[in-house]
Amino acid sequence: MTMKWGKRAWTGTALIGLSLVLSACNPDDPNKLLGGAPANGGKPCPPSASGEGGSTASSTVGNGGSAGGDPTTTSGGETTGAGGGVKTVLDERVVTYTEALRTASLKLVGKLPKNEEIEGVRSAADPKKVYETLVDQYMTSPRFAAVMIDYWKNTFRSGAMAANEAPNRNNAPLFAAKVTVEGGDYRQIFTAMSGTCPTFDPATGTFTPVDCANGPAAAPAAGVLTDAGLMAQYASALAFRRVRFIQETFSCRKMPAEYRGTPEPKGDGFYTSPWPFESIGGAANGGRVDFLDYSSTICANCHGSMNHRAPLFAAYDDAGKYVEPAPGMDGILEFAATVPIEGNPKVKQSDYLPPGETTAFKFGAPAANLLEFGQRMAADDEVARCAVVRVWNYAMSKGDAVYDLADVPDSVIGPLVTQFKTNYNLREIIRASFVHDDFVRY
């Protein structure tokens, strides 16, 4: 028995497979929906000729009806959609604003729509307009703000687990939700120097900014990058877990964070980081952990970026409190984080980087402190794209971009990324996702 995938799942998954060419045409296989030159002599499936980007090839009914236009059978035995292309599962999708309303209501306000709302869409002469009006109403509800707090708690994998928990792990999700709900500049999430510990009134859905700078003037606040709750939750030896959190949350990719154009042979493998190989600490240049070792694996592929970032996060202790670095017995600055060797000593700059190397967000993007680090993030295209990917996956009920490998092709979200970069208003991207042509097709 052949298992058939749900149509909603096809919205994202099938589109990813459109670029793959495999051996034979099977319209129910997401990897074979689009052909080019047939592989191994097999027969590809050409795209739908509908002109709606792979949506239903025939006419659709906006209030939950079925698509018109019966498929036909060619002399070769292939079933074609009304548009003339080979019929696939994507052709079975129809526009149904009533189904879309149910999902949108659950996602935006955390409850099912009222019966009168559903019937209002179903009976409307222009169901699209009525549906979009309801989406706008949902996004002005106090419940929308509460849902966005949960969205960011899930994104950060953080939040208070007990009353009066110290440090407060609600602050970072609350601040990110405030920026989102108020339609602020998304980049404030990692560049804001004040108001980063807001309070929230669930009755009105409003936020009140409160300052919580976690460190002296030498380490200015930088949105959630300096948040005590996040620094405590992601504490680890050498502060590498904090670096990983920032990379995966805001860039939507695991380490390595960067790649060079031409890999360099190293041992039995290749060095792929754009940083010079000797730009990080190792046994040969004074480091107590040999990040330059490549006897079994090339550690520097990840640590080229990690070691230039981690010293900025190493000044926060396990409780998330900023501790001003101070010279050790040898006169070299020591940080609050520790090195996982005998005695767990305090980490030094030389454990990460040799003399002369400075901290940075990426190769060619130096950052002397976390505020500059956040400003570098704000200018990074990968960071902007990641924000859109996470919203799209939330709307489409897809998995996590990193842990579930649920990336989204640029052919799908490219216009949304372009829109986002005009003003970095994530609220507008949320609305655009929930009224998107792909969202209302089932």
Give per-residue pLDDT as tens, 154-191.
Answer: 999 999 877 778 899 999 999 999 999 999 999 999 99
| Whether residue 273 is found in the same domain as residue 149 | no
| Whether residue 113 is found in the same domain as residue 81 | no
| Whether residue 90 is found in the same domain as residue 103 | no
**Of 391, 405, 385, residue with least CA distance to 147:** 391
Give per-residue pLDDT as tens, 207-222.
Answer: 999 998 776 666 788 9
**Across the chain, which distance is largest between two alpha carbons, in Å?**
85
CB 22 within 8 A of CB 9: no
Instruction: Report the C-alpha gap between 178 and 113 in whole angstroms.
Output: 25
| Whether residue 275 is found in the same domain as residue 365 | yes
Place of tokens 């929906």: 33
Instruction: Report the C-alpha gap between 17 and 276 in whole angstroms.
Output: 37
Question: Could you tell me the two tokens for 120?
Answer: 């209002």
Bridge partners of residue 266, in order along the sequence: 269
Question: Could you tell me the two tokens for 225?
Answer: 């990058």
Specify the pLDDT at position 440: 96
What mean pLDDT is predicted for residues 256-260? 97
Question: Could you tell me the two tokens for 297?
Answer: 């694996």
Lowest mean pLDDT among 70-84, 296-310, 373-387, 424-438: 70-84
Average pLDDT of the chain is 84
| Whether residue 310 is found in the same domain as residue 288 | yes
Instruction: Report the C-alpha gap between 208 and 196 in whole angstroms.
Output: 10
Distance (Å) of CA 197 to CA 64, 171, 179, 371: 44, 5, 12, 16
Does the residue 215 lie in any domain? yes
Instruction: Report the C-alpha gap between 141 and 138 in whole angstroms.
Output: 5
Domain housing 164: 142-226
Domain termination residue (choose one: 188, 208, 226): 226
Bridge partners of residue 271, in order along the sequence: 264
Domain termination residue (choose one: 167, 199, 226): 226
Specify the pLDDT at position 438: 93
- Please give the backbone phi and psi of residue 206, each rounded to the nearest 5 degrees, phi first: -110, 155
Does the residue 439 lie in any domain? no
| Whether residue 346 is found in the same domain as residue 256 | yes
| Whether residue 180 is found in the same domain as residue 256 | no
Specify the pLDDT at position 223: 96
| Whether residue 70 is found in the same domain as residue 128 | no
Domain termination residue (choose one: 39, 61, 95): 95
| Whether residue 221 is found in the same domain as residue 300 | no
* Residue 389: pLDDT over 90: yes
Cis peptide before 256 (omega within 30 of 0): yes
Place of tokens 């940075």: 360
* Residue 80: pLDDT over 90: no
pLDDT band at 244 (very low <50, low <70, confident <90, very high): very high
Question: Could you tell me the two tokens for 15?
Answer: 């589109």
Give per-residue pLDDT as tens, 140-149.
Answer: 999 999 999 9
* Residue 1: pLDDT over 70: no
Does the residue 441 lie in any domain? no
| Whether residue 123 is found in the same domain as residue 148 | no
Reported pTM: 0.81
Helix (H, G, I), strand (E, B) or coil at 115: helix
**Of 10, 13, 34, residue with least CA distance to 22:** 34
| Whether residue 209 is found in the same domain as residue 239 | no
The identity of residue 383, as a single letter, is: V
Q: Count up the domains in the chain and report the number.
A: 5
CB 194 within 8 A of CB 200: no
Count other Cβ atoms within 10 Å, centred on residue 273.
26
Place of tokens 């990813």: 16
Instruction: Report the C-alpha gap between 22 and 381 in whole angstroms.
Output: 32
Instruction: Report the C-alpha gap between 334 and 405 in whole angstroms.
Output: 37
Does the residue 292 lie in any domain? yes
Outline where 76-222 has alpha helix (H). 97-109, 115-123, 127-138, 142-156, 171-181
